[in-house]
Homo-oligomer: A and B are copies of this chain.
C-alpha cells in the first residue's frame, strides 16, 4: 500500500506497535488538551495565498545556524528509536542525512552519539541534552558530541520532572531489558533503585537555572539552543544569556497540560527576539501547509517528533524518508499554491492575523 498522508503512517504505527510503546509515544500529559490543541491550532489559522507569481521554480532550501537544509523541517529529539525499528536511531540518521535535514538526537537514544553520527557522516546532527545532577555526565556527553561532529546542543528546559502521562503509569512503561540508553552504557548498572525510562530516578538536576547556560557555554564552542520556551519573558532571558536559538515547544503536549499550542505561542517569542536569534517550533506539524504557517509566523525551521517515529515504525530508514519526502513535497506544493517561490517570500502577509 502506498501512503498518501501522515495520518496513514500514524494508523500503521497504532496498529503495529505494542500497545505500551504506542501509548508511550502518543501520550500527552493529563487530559491531553495541549496535545490536541497543537493540532487544532494549526487548523484554525487561515492562509492568504497570492496568485500569478511565476512558480515554475520553487526553492524549498533554507539554513539553520548557517547550514543549508533541503527544506525547513527536521527531526525533533525523541527517545528509544529501537522500539520502532531494529536499528532505531541509525535509520533515523540515515534517512535524515539522505534527505538533508537536521536530526536532533535524543540523549535517551538506544544508540550512542558516536554510532548515530557514524551512520550518516555527512548528516547535520544536533544533540539534545539534559543537565544531570552529576554534572560530569553532561560534560562528558558534550565532549563526545563535539568529537563526533555534532553541530549544536539543544538543551531541554521544560522537563525538570516528567509530565503525568496517564497511559505510561497504567502500563508501567519500561524500556525492555534488551535495550539500553546507550550513551550511558554501564554507568547506571550498579543502581538498584527504581529506574525511569532506563535511567535511575534523581538523575536529572531540577535546580537548573539560566546561570547554568553559562556553565554549558564554558564547556563547549558549540552553539546552544533552548528547547521548551513558550513565553516572551523566557525568550528575552534566552537572548540575554547568549543562546543561539529557541525551539518553541511544549514537548508534544507531554509536560504541563494546559499550555498553549506552540503555533499560538510562536508570535510572542518571535516578537521578543526581534530577529536576533533563530526561532524554531515543534509539536503539531502534520501537513506541508503547517510548515508554511509556522514559517509565515516567524519560525526558521520546524521539527517533527511523532511523525518521524511513525515512518520509522513503518519501514525504518525507508519509511522515515517517505515521511520526510511527503512533507517536503506537500510544503513545495503549498509554497507554489500560496505564490511563494523561495523561503524569503514567506511572511506574515500569508496569514489572516485578525483570525488568530
User: Nearest Cβ distance between residue A275 and chain B, in whole angstroms?
Assistant: 22
* Bound Cα distance from A51 to B337, whole angstroms: 39
A314-356 near B? 1/0 per residue, CB < 8 Å: 0000000000000000100110111000000000010010000
Interface SS majority for chain A: loop
Measured CB to CB, the closest approach of chain B to A303, in angstroms, equals 18
Whether A68 is near chain B, meaning CB under 8 Å from some CB there, is no
* Contact segment of A80-88, A110-118, A159-167: A159-167
Number of copies: 4
The verdict on A134 contacting chain B, using a C-beta distance below 8 Å, is: no
Q: Is A201 among interface residues, defined by CB-CB distance under 8 A? A: no
**4 closest A-B pairs by CB:** A56-B207, A256-B337, A56-B206, A51-B157
Which one of A59-67, A180-188, A189-197, A223-231 is at the B interface?
Answer: A223-231
The answer to whether A210 has its CB under 8 Å from any CB of chain B is yes
- In the complex, the answer to whether B43 meets A166 with C-beta atoms within 8 Å is no
Interface residues on A, range: 35 or more
**Cβ–Cβ contact A289 & B258, under 8 A:** yes
List, in ascending order, chain B residues with CB within 8 A of A30's CB. 5, 287, 289, 330
Q: Which residues of B contact A228 (CB under 8 A)?
A: 51
CB pair B54–A209 under 8 Å, yes or no, is yes
A351 vs chain B, min Cβ distance (A): 10
1/0 per residue A25-49: CB within 8 Å of B? Answer: 0000011010000000001011111
Closest B residue by C-beta to A39: B31
Interface residue? A170 (CB, 8 A): yes
User: Which one of B158, B161, B337 contacts A161 once the chains associate, using CB atoms below 8 Å?
Assistant: B337
Across the two chains, which residue of chain B brings its CB closest to A250?
B49
Q: Taking CB as reference atom, which chain B residue is nearest A289? A: B258
The answer to whether B45 and A234 touch across the interface, beta carbons within 8 angstroms, is no
Q: Which of A139-193 contact B (CB under 8 A)?
A: 157-158, 160-161, 163-164, 166, 169-170
A-side residues, CB < 8 A to B, are 2, 4-5, 30-31, 33, 43, 45-56, 157-158, 160-161, 163-164, 166, 169-170, 205-210, 212-213, 226, 228-231, 233-234, 237, 255-260, 264, 287, 289, 293, 330, 333-334, 336-338, 349, 352
Which of A2, A160, A163, A230: most chain B Cβ within 10 A?
A: A160
* Complex: A205 Cα to B57 Cα, angstroms: 11
- Which residue on B lies nearest to A268, using beta carbons? B48
Report A82 CB to chain B, min CB distance, Å: 27
B51-A229 in contact (CB<8A): yes
Q: Which residues of B contact A352 (CB under 8 A)?
A: 260
Chain B residues near A54 (CB-CB < 8 A) = 206-209
Find out whether the CB atom of A337 lies under 8 angstroms from the CB atom of B209: no
Q: A48-B260, A233-B349 are in contact. List 19 more A-B contacts (CB 8 A).
A: A4-B169, A30-B330, A46-B258, A48-B230, A48-B259, A49-B158, A50-B231, A51-B157, A51-B158, A51-B228, A54-B209, A55-B206, A56-B205, A158-B337, A161-B333, A161-B337, A256-B289, A256-B338, A257-B287
